[in-house]
Amino acid sequence: MVESVTRIVVIGAGQAGLSVAYYLKRFDLVPDVDFILVDRGPGAGGAWQFRWEELRLGTAHRISDLPGMDALGVSFDTADRTVPARDVVADYYRRYEDYYDLRVRRPARATGVANRDADLAVTTSDGDIRTHFVVNATGTWGAPFIPYYPGMRSFAGRQVHTADYSSAQDFAGQRVIVVGAGTSAVGFLMELEGVAASTQWATRSPADFRDEIELSPESSAAAVAMQDDAARAGRALPSIVSGTGVPRTRRIAAAIARGILTDRRMFSRIEERGVRWPDGSFSPADTIIWATGFRPEARQLAPLKLREKAGGLTVAGGASWTDPRIFFAGYGPQASTVGAGRAGRMIARQIVAALG
C-alpha cells in the first residue's frame, strides 16, 4: 500500500477533530492534501454513534454546536429531543463533514505514531501516513475504565461497561447493580426502573447532586481548572463529575423522591452470585453495570513515550510539552463540546504558525 504524505494528520473525527479540521481549512489548508482526517468509526458522529438507544439530547451534559454549524441551518439547541441522541449527532456531523468537504477517511483506525527521521509516521488500518504534525483527537470512548475489585473474575453473571450498554431491555427481569456516581449511572438507574427486577446503586462517595437544571458556569469552570492543572502537571486526569456534580433536574428529583436514586457505599468484594457490602450483607445480582468512566485514548502514541511517571501526559494549550509535533484536542480541560471548539481554533493557529 502506497504511503500518503501530508503536513498534518488529525486522528479522530468527533467534536474535537472536526473543530480542528474546520479551522485548518479556514487557514486555507486543503483537506486530504495539506491535512488528513482519519476516523475509526463506520460513520459520522464520533463516540455518539455508539451510545445507547434511550439516551436523548437534554438528558446528558449539553452538546454545543461545532464552529460554523450555523451555516448549515441546524443547532443542537433546537434539535429533536424525541429521537436517540446518537442519531441526531450522527446526522448533524455527517452534514457538517459534507458541507465543509472535510473528506474524512473512514474506517481508518490509527494504531501507532512513531518517529520517521524528523517527521512522524502514522500507521492506520487504511495505510501509513508520513506527516510533520499529529493532532490526537481520539477522546475517551475507546478506553473504558473498570476498577479492580476482589472476586470480580469469579462473578457468574454479566459485567457491562457504559461503552457496551445498548438498551435497558437487555436487562429485563434481572437484578442489577449499577456502579458509578455520574450522569450515566443516574440515567441507567432511571431507564431500568420497571424493566429490571431490582436495581442497587454503588458509589465510592456520595452522589453530588447540584440544585441546577443545567451545568452552571461555576461548575464548568471548576471542572476545567481541575483538568487543566492535572494536564499541565502530567498527572492522570480527574473525573469530570468530581468537578461538575450531577444537576438535579426535575426528572432526577422525581426519581430521588421515588427512592430510585439511593446510593450505597461501594461493595467490598464480588462473589459468584452477587456482591458483598462493607457491613457484611450480601446482594444477589445477575448483572453489574460499570458506569465508571473512561480514560484518554492515547495508546497509539505509545512509541513516542509521552507518558509521565505521574500517570498522565504533559499538555498545555492543546500542545504536548514533551514533543512539539504532537497536539491534543479534547484532552483534559478541552473534554467538552465547548472546550473542543475552542481547542480547534487554538491548535490550528499553533500549527499554522509552526508551518511558517
Buried b (16+ CB within 10 A) or exposed e, 70-97: eeeebebeebeeeebbbebbbbbbeebb
Residues forming a β-bridge with 159: 288
What are the residue ranges of CATH 3.50.50.60 in the chain? 4-142+294-355, 152-211+248-290
Cα 288 off chain centre by: 21
* Greatest CA separation for the chain: 66
Over the stretch 284-303, which tens digit does the pLDDT of each residue have? 999 999 999 988 899 999 99
Residue whose cell numbers read 429521537: 83
* CATH topology classification for 152-211+248-290: FAD/NAD(P)-binding domain (3.50.50)
pLDDT (0 to 100) of residue 208: 87
CA-CA distances (angstroms) from residue 203 to 80, 81, 177, 258, 291?
A: 33, 29, 10, 19, 10
| Distances, alpha carbon 272 to alpha carbons 111, 153, 263, 283, in Å | 36, 8, 22, 11
Residue entry with cell 432511571: 190
Select the CATH number that applies to the domain covering 4-142+294-355 from these four: 3.40.50.2000, 3.50.50.60, 3.40.50.300, 3.30.300.30.
3.50.50.60
pTM attached to this predicted model: 0.87
What pLDDT sits at residue 244?
63
**Helix, coil or strand: residue 250:** helix
Question: What is the C-alpha separation between 100 and 25, in angstroms, rounded?
Answer: 8
Cα(230)–Cα(277) distance, rounded to whole angstroms?
32
Q: What are phi and psi of 348, to 5 degrees?
A: -60, -40
Distance separating alpha carbons of residues 54 and 52, to the nearest angstrom: 6
Q: Which cell numbers hold the place of 352?
A: 499554522
pLDDT string in tens for the chain (356-residue length): 668 999 999 999 999 999 999 999 999 999 999 999 999 999 999 999 999 888 888 765 678 899 999 999 999 999 999 999 999 999 999 999 999 999 999 999 999 999 998 899 999 999 999 999 999 999 888 889 999 999 999 999 999 999 999 999 999 999 999 999 998 999 999 999 999 999 999 999 998 888 765 544 444 555 566 666 666 666 766 666 555 678 888 889 999 999 999 999 999 999 999 999 999 999 999 999 999 998 889 999 999 999 887 777 888 888 899 999 999 998 765 555 555 677 899 999 999 999 98
What is d(CA 351, CA 339) in angstroms, rounded to the nearest whole number? 18
**Phi then psi for 8, rounded to 5 degrees?**
-140, 140
